[in-house]
Amino acid sequence: MFLSNSFIPILKNNPSEAKIKSHQLMLRVGMIKQASAGIYSWLPLGFKVMKKIEDIVRQEQNKIGAQEILMPTIQSSEIWKESGRYDDYGEEMLRITDRQNREMLYGPTNEEQVTEIFRSSIKSYKSLPQLMYHIQWKFRDEIRPRFGIMRGREFYMKDAYSFDVSDEEAFYSYNKFFLSYLRTFKRLSLTAIPMAADTGPIGGNLSHEFVILADTGESKIFTDKRIFDLDNDDTKLEKISLQSMRKKYEQFYAVTDEKFNKEEFEKIVSKENQLITKGIEVGHIFYFGDKYSKPMGASVDLPGGKKDFVKMGSYGIGVSRLVGAIIEAKYDEKNEIMKWPLSVAPYDIAIIPMINKNDTSALDSANNINKQLLKNNIDAIIDDTDENFSSKIKKMNLIGAPYQIIIGKKSEADLLEFKETGEEIQNLPLGKIIEIITKRKNSI
Ligand code: 5CA
């Protein structure tokens, strides 16, 4: 892709309305454009990143056997009246009436809708468990939308739902999602810590928030530092191994604000391991048994002939919020260098030729290099504008492809100036560069 043809409206300076670095960068490089308070259009650069995040989230959901569906954004109030949440949800719910005067709403979450789908088709324990997810826009009329897409009113969420015959089976499903969340965030190059959390309007009594550390985060967290050293790579999708994986995490004190108890914290966690800090909630999982299945009459036949309400959980990831969360974690705002993890980078590499009006040789080389990269599935952005060199580098540092090739006067025929964005230049042949990037891509 040539920069001159792309729609990447870069601003010279930081927009003054943005208070945190992810919001600043997203506006600065034209990833998003505000449409109204807490509602954004996604421009090419931002949309590309979000779609890559969505893809990783999807792959990890599929790996644990969750099935993708797509429920509507607009829901009928009827099912919310059945669950009792129509009144409880309050002013965060955007309520709409259609031309027949029917009460509708823009879904803030989908427990009711998915329970309605489930109860109309599944009648026997033999069809359980069922794990279903969708990736869809949500609307919550937040009182204080802020920090750009971090706390939007309209936002993109992956929400999954599990249906099981018993508590024991339901915990098995819960643990599968627990693992898939650890795997998902790791592929996004984030360290997200599962913290015991409150359940709020979703309900239930077992819940974990997945939080990444960031000074600008809205969640206050209290934890034992040693939880950061845990790894989960080789956990099998079996009941016992998943149970012990969760136990491994739960052995350490890690809670959000609402669950914090000072006395307990100081008793359980030694002084040197105590960490009190802030973070961004990128995911949240809940177990709530029959909170929705009971009032909505979602039951199945059990082996002995009896019936029981299915046991449910729900599992959310803030897909649009993750774009901001990754920036919070990776953007060096002092030097104005963004380095996207290769797994979600809008481009794998930036090619920056020095262009002289009378000499197109650098641009010709850039074109040839791009052809080779394309053949190897490496997605490049080429700065073909005639701006001066330092402003080109500045721009590309903000766009944040993880690698750069610089084609200057000094470039020799077979060695290229190559670097990881923000790091030292190395002189390497194109073949070696392709090898480095391909190897890293394959390891994601
Ligand atoms: N039904 C459950 C699980 S599917 C649920 O809605 N959970 S939630 O309320 O915790 O939201 C799930 C995730 O969506 C959060 O962890 C957060 O990452 C993201 N999220 C929630 N509210 C917003 C918002 N206003 N703006 C951006 N992302 C949000």
C-alpha distance from residue 9 to each of 28, 31, 327, 355, 403 (Å): 8, 8, 18, 21, 21
Q: Residue 296 has which token pair?
A: 């909505």
pLDDT of residue 410: 59
Q: Look at ligand 1, atom 7, and give the residue with the nearest C-alpha.
A: 316
Residue nearest to atom 24 of ligand 1 (CA): 151
Mean pLDDT of 11-21: 92
C-alpha span between 369 and 365 (Å, rounded): 6
Beta bridge partners of 242: none
Domains, the chain, ordered by start: 8-332 (3.30.930.10), 347-442 (3.40.50.800)
Q: Where are the alpha helices (DSSP H) in 251-337?
A: 262-268, 319-330
pLDDT digit string (tens) for 116-129? Answer: 999 999 999 999 99
**Residue 198 — pLDDT band, cuts 50, 70, 90?**
confident
pTM: 0.96
Tell me how crowded residue 294 is: count the other CB atoms within 10 A of its CB. Answer: 15
Q: Would you say residue 75 has pLDDT above 70?
A: yes
Tell me if 216 sits within 8 A of 147, measured CB to CB: yes
Q: Tell me the C-alpha distance between 417 and 434, whole Å.
A: 13
pLDDT for 267-305, tens place per residue? Answer: 999 999 999 999 999 999 999 999 999 999 999 999 988
- CA 388 to centroid of ligand 1, rounded, Å: 43
Least confident range of 30-34, 61-65, 229-233, 363-367: 229-233
Inter-residue contact 282 to 325 (CB < 8 Å): yes
Q: What is the band of 414 on the pLDDT scale with cuts at 50, 70, 90?
A: confident
In this predicted structure, what is the pLDDT of residue 409? Answer: 67
**CB-CB contact of 354 with 408 (8 Å):** yes
pLDDT over 90 for what percent of the chain? 88
Closest by CA to 376, choosing from 300, 437, 287, is 437
- CB-based pocket (< 6 A), ligand 1: 109, 140, 142, 151-152, 155, 157, 159, 202, 281-284, 286, 314-316, 318, 320-321
Of 16-20, 107-111, 200-204, 327-331, least confident by mean pLDDT is: 200-204
On average, the pLDDT of the chain sits at: 95
How many angstroms does the Cα of residue 342 sit away from the middle of ligand 1?
A: 25
Structure tokens given for 22: 């992810």
**From the CA of 248, how far away is ligand 1's center (Å)?**
25
Q: Name the pairing type of β-strands 67-68 and 130-139.
A: parallel
Say how far apart CA 405 and CA 389 lie, in whole Å.
13
The CA distances from residue 124 to 114, 169, 225, 331, in Å, are: 17, 15, 45, 51
Q: Across residues 6-26, what is the average pLDDT?
A: 94
281 alpha carbon – ligand 1 mean position (Å): 8
Is the distance from CB of 212 to CB of 329 less than 8 angstroms? yes
How far apart, in whole angstroms, are the C-alpha atoms of residue 121 and residue 143? 38
Question: Which of 23, 135, 140, 157 most suits a substitution to test ligand 1, by most atoms within 8 Å of the C-beta?
Answer: 157
